[in-house]
Structure formats: structure tokens, C-alpha cells
Chains A and B, each alone.
Chain A
Amino acid sequence: MSAPLILALPSKGRLKEQVEAWLAESGLTLSAAGGTRGYLATLDGFDGVEVRLLSAGMIAAALDAGEVHLGVTGEDLLRERGEGAMTRVVLLKGLGFGRADVVVAAPQAWIDVVSMDDVDDVAHAFLARTGGRLRVATKYANLTRAFFAAKGVGDYRIVASDGATEGAPAQGLAELIVDITTTGATLSANALKILDDGVILRSEANLAGRRDAGLSPAQNRAAEKLLNQLKIGADSFFA
């Protein structure tokens, strides 16, 4: 049998349920395969498609690396991989769930700070006073760097954050954060506020494809059939 088309789908949590519901709308059913470990699945009626169940972050990485042909993951996770990744991966369709905004948030105690213009002022004063730069805690270093550059804010430093980013200011590890939020409740609970012009990206789950994937004729037929059933125009994927 020839190599299958590889589709990567989220392996756990709410996102997995939402993806399954979205597939069901198009009459597609996912069946677990590959034993009890459950990292593989099949789509009923699609013999030429192998489904890999991965975390959303791993799906973004696998698409970028060309290890999978199609995948569902967050736009934020793909864009964070940098401009290079966005030349290799094409967003085929926003799926309307998995919504999260990537935002810049500042301490509520900073009454005078409501915009990125204010951040630039304060960052400049901070550098002049302390000799160090304002620290921004984030897991989104690339998105942060591109956004701050677009806003012309230069006097800051990124502090990598792996865990609960919203706690970084209270812990004295950073002054600002860039993180995802859906309702803003977690930010408020941590005495942080979103800046007026601080929305970097309104992200949602996307079906994305690897450009120049070098699909065989059989893989191409499988992709066409699948995208057709999902009612997704995919000229940019096959181009």
C-alpha cells in the first residue's frame, strides 16, 4: 500500500472534543487505532488517510517540519514559529473554536499606562533610571518581538516563561506580560489589564496545510477528497 496522507489532530482536552464535533458536522468519524496508546486514528471511509493525535504545539512544529501534511492547531502557535514557518505552512480555514487573543498586559497599578505609546515612555524612563530594560514575560517571544517592533517600542527585554505567565509580575520576574486570554478573567485576577492597542493576534483553531508537501498522486487524491468533504477550498494548498 502506498504512503498515506497524514492528518494531525489535537490529542486531548476541549480542543479534541471540538475537532471531533467539527468533523462530525461533515459526516466524518474518528476511530482510535494503534492499540491502547491511542496516538494513531483513522477516519472512517478514508483508507488513504492516517490520523496522528498530537498536542497542538507539536502539530504546529510537525507542520512546519513537513512531518505531517494537514493539521488542526492554533494560529498563535503557528505564527509564533516565525515568518519562515508562515512561508511553509498555509492556513486553510479558521474553525471558529479554540479562540484566544494574544495580548500585551500591564499592571493595573500603572494608572498612567493604557497604550503602547505609554509603554514606550515608561520603558525609556525605566532604562534611564535603572540601566536595565523593562521585562516582558511570555511564551510568545517571536510574536512579541514583531509586535513591539511594529509599534516602535525598543527599550524592553523578553523573559522566557514556561509556566503561568500571568504570575510573573507579582513574582517580580517581569513588569509586563504577553499571553493568551479568552475572557480576561485570569489577567484581572492577577491585577493586570490589557492595553488599548495591545491585542497582538485574535487566534482560533485552524486547519493548516504544509506547502510543497511533495504529495504522491494517491495522497493528492486523498487530500482532495477530504478537503472536499470538509467544504474547504484548498487551491493554495495544492498550488
Chain B
Amino acid sequence: MRIEARIPDPVLQRIRAPFRRVDASGAKPERIDPPVIQPLDLLLDLSGEAMRERLFVVQGEDGAEACLRPDFTIPVARHLVDRGALSGRWYYQGQAFRIAPLGAAPAIHPSEFLQIGIEAFGGPDDASADAEIATLAWESAAAGGRDDLSLRIGDVSFFRAFLSDIGVPGIAAGRLQRAFTRPNRLRAEIARARRTAQVPPAALGVAEIERLWAEQGLEQTCGRTAQEIADRLAHRTRETMEPCLTDEQAMRIEQYLDISDRPADALARIRALGAGSAFETESKWWSLLIGDLSGIPNDRITFDAGFGGPFSYYDGFVFEIVSKALGSDAAVAAGGRYDTLAAQLLGRPVAAAGCMVRPARAWNGAAQ
């Protein structure tokens, strides 16, 4: 078992302090203690099958599989839904459990680790709210005493705007955007969008599909209707009529995704790649964000155009705080916006953002 170092209480208190502070609305975040044991099915449905290899799976009640919480975002949101509390701010502190990736250093990737963080539901959905969460995470992480921290930020909305500005056709743009957090999918979608000789699929109507099914004795349609299949075939046909991605566009997309620079320099490089009016609309929001991140030294902030966040459920602004000494695959803190996930859990649209800090990574005495 990989156990992490115990952090002295005064250090822990300093790391926790930013999350307990009274916020802009005058409210003091309340502590929340969600259960350690979580339903496996729900977690995988919300965060994806790829998460499973990181989970400690246990036999739950009534034979259903359960797992130890790998993170707090989903457990906190579930707990609040159960309590009927749908807006406000909560902070947490507790152990989370994750199986380390193969070959990872035990000291940096313990199986059981302390996590402190905050989740904000129903607050404003704007640049200053995003900046505030990132600033809290920065203050908390920095309280651990490291002087080699840097903040990495990204946002899928910039990618969406960039694709539109360089003239990527609608259906292809939608697919590329959807693939943003999955590099392998993104490569596959770029390849698919570039294919020159796309043959349209046979345009079959509902009646023809049903006739084919009857002829071949296909009774099991596995949850899909003839209508759905006909619609998708028609959609694919429209897609093949779109101009395919040009070499120039594909190259610019790849160059865009490679941009990782100080915010102002990144912005200049994105403009040089052909970003136009859609991007400028987003970049106004960005200027606000960068302005509101004034508590963080500008030379410690990197805008990483291809960065989509640690979990697929982040759907807007995302960030990570890393230490040079620990390396980029051992984030000290991370967070962002996850409105879609929250809406799925709460059953109605809600603005949701949050962050977490790992005190043992933030503390500069842990290695000694």
C-alpha cells in the first residue's frame, strides 16, 4: 500500500484557510462529508469507463458493486442532491483513493491521499467566478510552501471559436469539439474530416430499413429505432457533402493545439493562426479572466490551447497547478467548470465550478 506523508497541522490549516473564507456574497462555505463508499455504476456512467482502472472496487450492499471515492466532485454533488441543497458553496477535507498508474512513483502517487477542496453550485457563470476558483486553489497550494508552482489554464470554448473562425464546416467542427479532451479521438476525427473521397452511405428511409431487417430476420435492434438509423444515415450523407478539412485547416488545428505560452503571447499566436470574430468574442471573456487572476504572478500562468482538464466532465474553463519538482503528471491542484455534469445530477441546469488541492503535494516538507 502506498501511504503518503502526514502533514503537520499548522501547514494543513494554512492550506485549508482559503476554502473556509467568507466569499464575495458574504457567505461562509460549509463543511461537507460525503460517503467514502460510492456506487460504482453511477461513477462510471458519469466519468467514463477509462476511470475504472484507477478505482478501488469493493463489494457493496445488495450485491451491487461499489468503489472508494477517487475524487470529491461527484460524491459532493450527490450528497447535496440527497440533502436537497442545490445552491451554495461547500468545502471538504478527506481521504480519496486511487490505484496508481503503472510505474508511477509511490511517493507522488500514493493509493490513499488527502484532498481538500471546494465546490460552488448556482453561483455566477462568468469569468470572475472562474478566476476566483483558480485563485483560491492557487492560494491554498502556495500555502504549502513550494516556490515552483505554475498555473496551466485551458478552455474548450476557445477551440470552438477558433474552428468557426478558420471555416471548419459545422458537422466536422462539432465532432472535433466533442473530441477535445480525448487526443486519440481528436486525431481520428481530424483524419476523418480530411478524407477526400467520402462515399455517402446508402440513403435508406425508415420503411427500407424495416424491410431489410425483416428480410434478414433481424429482430434485435438493441435499443435503436429505424428512425434513428435513417436519421444518422441522412446526417452522414450531409456530412459527406460538406467540404472536407483542407490540409491548411488541419495544419492550423494542430498548430493551435500545440500552443502553450504566457496568456498574452498565446493570444497573439492564436490570432496569427487566423482567429477572427468568434474568437475575439471569447477573448474578451479571457481578458476579464486574466485580469481577475491578478493575484497570481503573470509569468507563472500558461495558456495551453489543447488542455481539456483531468476529467471528461469539465466542459469549460479548466486549470491545473503543477510543481516543477513533482512534474506535470502529478498536479498539486486542479479544477474548473462542470455545468453539464451538475445538471445531469441535479436534474436542472446549474452553474457549477470547483477545485481540489492535494496537501501532501503542496507541502514542500513532504519529501524531507
Contact = CB atoms under 8 A, between A and B. Distances in A.
B188 A148 contact: no
A83 B103 CA distance: 10
B220 A191 contact: yes
Contact of B50 (A116, A124, A154, A169): A154
Interface residues of A, number: 40
A112 B236 contact: yes
Interface string A163-200: 00000011000010000000000000001000000000
B285 interface: no
A133 B49 contact: yes
Contact of B312 (A84, A132, A145, A154): A154
Given A111-B209, A112-B229, A133-B45, A151 B184 contact: yes
Contact of A155 (B48, B102, B187, B233): B48
Interface stretch (A5-13, A69-77, A102-110, A224-232): A102-110
B232 interface: yes
Nearest to A169: B222
Q: Is the interface of A mostly helix, strand, loop or mixed?
A: mixed
A121 B186 CA distance: 13
A158 B187 contact: no
Interface in B33-57: 44-45, 48-50, 52-53
Nearest to A134: B223
Contacts of A112: 201, 229, 232-233, 236
Contacts of A148: 49-50
Most B-side CB within 10 Å, residue of A108, A126, A169 = A108
A109 B45 contact: no
A28 to B, nearest CB: 37
Contacts of A27: none
A118 B8 CA distance: 53
Contacts of B114: none
Contacts of B344: 131
A124 B187 CA distance: 17
B52 A145 contact: yes
Interface string A127-162: 000111100000001100100111111111110000
A83 B216 CA distance: 41
B221 A152 contact: no
Interface string A93-115: 00000000000000111111000
B184 A149 contact: yes
Contacts of A124: 178
A64 interface: no
A44 B110 CA distance: 50
A107 B221 contact: yes
Interface string B219-259: 11111100011001100100000000000000000000000
Contacts of B216: 108
B49 A154 contact: yes
Interface string B186-197: 111100100000
B182 interface: yes
A175 B189 CA distance: 23
A204 interface: no
B290 interface: no
Given A145-B53, A152-B179, A157 B224 contact: no
Give the one of A84, A111, A149, A153 with max B CB within 10 A. A111
Nearest to A152: B185
A132 B45 contact: yes
A175 B222 CA distance: 6
B354 to A, nearest CB: 22
Contact of B185 (A131, A153, A175): A153
B213 A117 contact: no
Given A107-B220, A107-B222, A191-B218, A152 B187 contact: yes
Contact of A120 (B185, B224, B236): B185
B212 interface: yes
Given A125-B228, A142-B53, A149-B184, 4 more contacts: A111-B209, A121-B232, A152-B179, A158-B52
Interface of A: 82-84, 87, 107-112, 116-117, 120-122, 124-126, 130-133, 141-142, 145, 148-158, 169-170, 175, 191
5 contacts: A107-B220, A110-B224, A125-B228, A145-B53, A152-B179
